[in-house]
């Protein structure tokens, strides 16, 4: 009888232990962090763009975690990979993050990198959130279902803005296009030509291309000058963009330069020198001027988290920070509405968000739909220029 009682007690203890083990597993699962991936240029000439995106994501993640995280207390953690602005490395990084089961991957400044990653992310059913690269085909990629979303500019819309601005501010009638020779430049060439056909006030005088490492762009600019260009539309990142400005300076050609935002993602003022303040370029946000309550809170948060930021003049590459900040909060709303990190559930939630979000750039009410995965439009773009290292709105 004593031995039977001992066996029953042992069995009971095992049962209780197993139950606690199961409960422990459930509790551990409930507390598992939600991994958020980031693939961006964290080194090289465009490293500031990656750091700006990191700051926006990190600040938003801090705010979400401070409120208890998502899905019953799961904290968000950022998992980063450096794409070095090269598509093959971006693709490798995306595959690594997929294997780590991230809930979503945030992209960086380079359209070619994003264009390389998106087909794989769609195939693997993983949410992509673009927060800088503006290539039209990133979100308008023909996939169904489409897991690529973006809180950023869209080239097809930016191109209309650039030509219109050139005509309105400078009276331009013949724009010369000076474009990076990659898919981003090619996409903008098509977009600018389409914009010119739709609005005949500015025709395209000529199209010239350059490589990322070119150091002498005088021949290309000379051809555009000979073609009668009275404004230059520049599409390129900081380093080659600076070479365009240096070539223009050597030619003593004071033609207006209207640029896409690639020049704001690196050390353009340092590289371009005295002419760095000449180009006007597009952005989605500026920390200068009167700020909304959200803008005040975000700037204060950045100053607290990053002591080197003393004011708006210290927020480099602000578009990366602003886009990433808003996009992270929008993704969090999608995950909360889905009640899961399941990619299909999150995609469906993002396409029909029930809760408006009062963001940094604007208040988002149903920012996405099944047919439109871009949250920002032309009315959300502003024109800016450099004053020293500061990016300030054009008067």
Q: How confident is the model at residue 1 (pLDDT cuts 50, 70, 90)?
A: very low
pLDDT at 160 over 90: yes
Residues 323 and 264 in one domain: no
Q: What is the pLDDT of residue 376?
A: 96
Residues 132 and 169 in one domain: no
Residues 205 and 100 in one domain: no
Neighbour count for residue 31 (Cβ, 10 Å): 12
Neighbour count for residue 26 (Cβ, 10 Å): 10
Residue 14 lies in a domain: no
What tokens appear for 94 in the block? 């995306």
The domain of 370 spans: 32-153+290-377
Report pLDDT digits (tens) over 215-240: 999 999 999 999 999 999 999 999 99
Residues 149 and 161 in one domain: no
Residue 217 lies in a domain: yes
What tokens appear for 87 in the block? 């598509």
Which residues are within 8 A (CB) of 215 and not within 5 positions of it... i.e. 6 or more apart? 243
H/E run at residue 234: strand 231-235
Measured distance CA(320)–CA(324) in Å, rounded: 6
Residue 388 lies in a domain: no
Q: What is the pLDDT of residue 3?
A: 46
Average of per-residue pLDDT values in the chain = 92
Count of the separate structural domains present in the chain: 2
Domain's final residue, options 252, 283, 314: 283
Measured distance CA(74)–CA(95) in Å, rounded: 24
Domain's final residue, options 283, 317, 343: 283
Residues 315 and 373 in one domain: yes
Q: What is the pLDDT of residue 223?
A: 98
Give me the helix-helix angle, 87-99 and 111-123, nearest 10°. Answer: 30
Residue 256 lies in a domain: yes
**Regarding beta strands 34-40 and 104-106, do their DSSP bridges make them parallel or antiparallel, or are they unpaired?**
parallel
Q: How confident is the model at residue 7 (pLDDT cuts 50, 70, 90)?
A: very low
CATH number for the domain harbouring residue 248:
3.40.50.2300
Residue 278 lies in a domain: yes
Measured in degrees and rounded to the nearest 5, phi and psi for residue 385 equal -155, 170
Q: What is the pLDDT of residue 83?
A: 97
Residues 160 and 276 in one domain: yes
Q: How confident is the model at residue 390 (pLDDT cuts 50, 70, 90)?
A: confident
Q: How confident is the model at residue 81 (pLDDT cuts 50, 70, 90)?
A: very high
Measured in degrees and rounded to the nearest 5, phi and psi for residue 36 equal -115, 120
């Amino acid at each position: 009888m004593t031995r039977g009682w001992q066996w029953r007690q042992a069995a009971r203890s095992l049962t209780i232990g197993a139950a606690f083990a199961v409960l422990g597993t459930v509790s551990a699962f409930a507390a598992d962090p939600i991994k958020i991936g980031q693939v961006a240029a964290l080194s090289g000439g465009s490293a500031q763009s990656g750091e700006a995106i990191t700051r926006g994501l990190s600040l938003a993640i801090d705010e979400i975690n401070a409120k208890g995280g998502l899905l019953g207390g799961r904290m968000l953690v950022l998992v980063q990979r450096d794409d070095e602005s090269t598509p093959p490395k971006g693709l490798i990084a995306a595959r690594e993050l997929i294997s780590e089961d991230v809930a979503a991957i945030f992209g960086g400044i380079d359209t070619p990198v994003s264009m390389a990653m998106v087909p794989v992310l769609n195939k693997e059913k993983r949410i992509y959130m673009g927060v800088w690269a503006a290539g039209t085909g990133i979100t308008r990629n023909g996939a169904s279902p489409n897991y690529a979303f973006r809180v950023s500019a869209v080239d097809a819309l930016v191109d209309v803005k650039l030509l219109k601005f050139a005509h309105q501010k400078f009276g331009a009638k013949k724009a010369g296009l000076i474009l990076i020779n990659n898919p981003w430049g090619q996409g903008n060439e098509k977009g600018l030509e389409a914009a010119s056909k739709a609005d005949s006030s500015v025709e395209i005088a000529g199209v010239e291309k350059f490589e990322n490492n070119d150091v002498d762009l005088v021949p290309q600019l000379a051809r555009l000058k000979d073609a009668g260009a009275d404004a230059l539309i520049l599409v390129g990142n900081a380093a080659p963009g600076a070479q365009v400005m240096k070539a223009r300076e050597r030619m003593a050609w004071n033609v207006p330069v209207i640029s896409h935002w690639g020049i704001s993602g690196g050390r353009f003022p340092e590289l371009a020198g005295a002419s760095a303040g000449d180009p006007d370029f597009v952005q989605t946000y500026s920390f200068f001027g009167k700020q909304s309550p959200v803008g005040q809170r975000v700037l204060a948060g950045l100053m607290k988290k990053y002591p080197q930021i003393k004011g708006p003049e210290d927020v480099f590459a602000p578009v990366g920070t602003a886009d990433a900040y808003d996009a992270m909060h929008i993704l969090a709303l999608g995950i909360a509405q889905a009640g899961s990190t399941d990619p299909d559930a999150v995609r469906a939630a993002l396409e029909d968000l029930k809760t408006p979000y009062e963001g940094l750039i604007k208040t988002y009410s149903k920012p996405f739909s099944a047919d439109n995965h871009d949250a920002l439009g032309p009315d959300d773009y502003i024109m800016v220029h450099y004053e020293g290292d500061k990016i300030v709105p054009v008067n």
